[in-house]
Amino acid sequence: TLSINDAFLHFNAVFEAGKTYTLFADVVIFAYTPFDMLSAPAEQTSGDPRQVRISLHHGVPGAAPVDVSLFEVRNLYGNVSYGNFTGYATVDTGVYYFIVKEAGTAKDLDAPAYYADMRAWGGKAVRLFTSGYVNGDPAFRLMAALPDGTVVVLPATTTPPVNARVQIIHNAPSDAVDI
């Protein structure tokens, strides 16, 4: 269409000059009410090339609130309801597995984990967001929006790797032994 009068959504918003925002229209058009544009202030950088700032937006209509954690690292966000944004958390760059569960339960919303290689994301702020449907098509998924506009679908995995921990103790009568 060439006319603003043909738009199915009109909304008023005031954005402060010099600031950056993320906007989401994450409903099924004409199926869920109310239909609204959701926005939140967005960060662009982490301030440290060895770290990534991450925030979450829950964008799956009809899905329960979610808890998100980094496998074998820490909990990030708890009880995030549909349409809400979290604040930013800082993590070191690296390879992570995000675990998304129904809030307060051990129930996976789709996949047991989502793989994220964040080694190239150092110095950036990233907005994670959920998309799709729980038990529907397209399937529930976790995605990342990078500050340059690139959207990355984080691959679902059947199970994150289970790591072994080993402690090596140098216990030799002579200190000439190298381990």
Q: List, for residues 105-155, the tens digit of each pLDDT value.
A: 888 777 788 999 999 999 999 999 998 888 888 888 999 999 999 999 999
Query: Which residues share a beta bridge with 96?
Result: 116
Q: Which residue matches tokens 């150092």? A: 122
For residues 125 and 95, give the distance between their C-alpha atoms in angstroms, rounded to a whole number.
Answer: 16
Question: Does the predicted model carry a pTM greater than 0.85?
Answer: no
**E strands present in the chain:** 21-24, 38-41, 51-57, 66-70, 74-80, 89-92, 95-102, 113-117, 125-131, 141-145, 151-153, 156-157
Using CA atoms, how far apart are residues 67 and 172, in angstroms rounded to an integer?
Answer: 47
